[in-house]
Amino acid sequence: MDNNVLAKVEGIEITKEHLMNIMRSLPQQQMMEVSTVEGRKRLLDELVAAELFYLEASANKLDEEEEFKKILEEATHSLLQRFAIQKLLEKVTVSEEDMKAYYDSNRKSFVSSEEVRAKHILVKEEEEANRIRKEIEEGKAFDEAAKEYSTCPSKDKGGDLGFFGKGRMVPEFDKAAFELKVGELSDVVKTQFGYHLIIVEEKKEAAIKTFEQVQEQIKQTLLRNEQTKVYTDKFNALKEQYNVEINEDGLK
């Protein structure tokens, strides 16, 4: 059997591509469950079982039963509804000219907040924090002190927390970090986690993002707006085209 064909059921092939497509469509948790060889074997068994039950149903002419016909009619009805809406909305496009016009009219809504890049050392005792601060003031490198004393996982990177905006950290830490000048060592800062020493490496002032930075965001916003308009207009036109009766009293 071809390696791309994982199973055959009365000549019906179940391919590796088919299996992978199903795996990709699964929710994250289920995808993890079938990521192992054993998990893929279980999934393949389920696909084989599905084909066997299909063959059994066909042999027993279940597709001729009224109950099945009713279910099929309802499913077709629902799929056609969704397909009609999909075909309507996929025609909607947004021009770059419209995106730039939206950007120019809404620049103030695309402001990136002030950010700092800081390093810190976290210890449990205030006395220890004061001792470490003194060592740094006397010439010990902050990175070296962080690796030696800090209890935070960031110690492996010399205490580097990367860039963060206001409100990302606990209030006491946040206030201290944004009040420091670049290169300035903080006093000991107490938070719920312990005692910190903070040094700010870089600052980014609040600034308006470029069009390129927000182009995709604007595109999605305008697409949603235009799709809503197209949908509403079509809905209203169809209500005029077909006989529609609504009993609002029945909703009370």
Distances (CA, A) of 170 to 72, 190, 193, 245: 56, 10, 9, 57
Whole-angstrom distance, CA of residue 82 vs CA of residue 231: 12
Q: How many CB atoms lie within 10 A of CB 88?
A: 15
Strand stretches in 108-251, DSSP E? 111-112, 115-123, 160-165, 189-191, 194-204, 207-208
User: Is residue 2's pLDDT more than 80?
Assistant: no
C-beta of residue 88 within 8 angstroms of C-beta of residue 234: yes
Whole-angstrom distance, CA of residue 86 vs CA of residue 83: 5
Mean pLDDT for the stretch of residues 42-54: 96
Selected residue with higher pLDDT from 186 and 35: 186
C-beta of residue 26 within 8 angstroms of C-beta of residue 14: no
User: Mean pLDDT lowest for which of 34-43, 83-92, 114-123, 196-205?
Assistant: 34-43
C-beta of residue 118 within 8 angstroms of C-beta of residue 189: no
Confidence band of 252 (pLDDT split at 50, 70, 90):
confident
pLDDT for position 1: 67
Whole-angstrom distance, CA of residue 44 vs CA of residue 11: 16
* Average per-residue pLDDT for the chain: 94
pLDDT digits (tens, 9 = 90+) for 217-247: 999 999 999 999 999 999 999 999 999 999 9
pLDDT for position 44: 96
- What whole-number percentage of the chain has pLDDT above 70? 100
C-beta of residue 136 within 8 angstroms of C-beta of residue 252: no
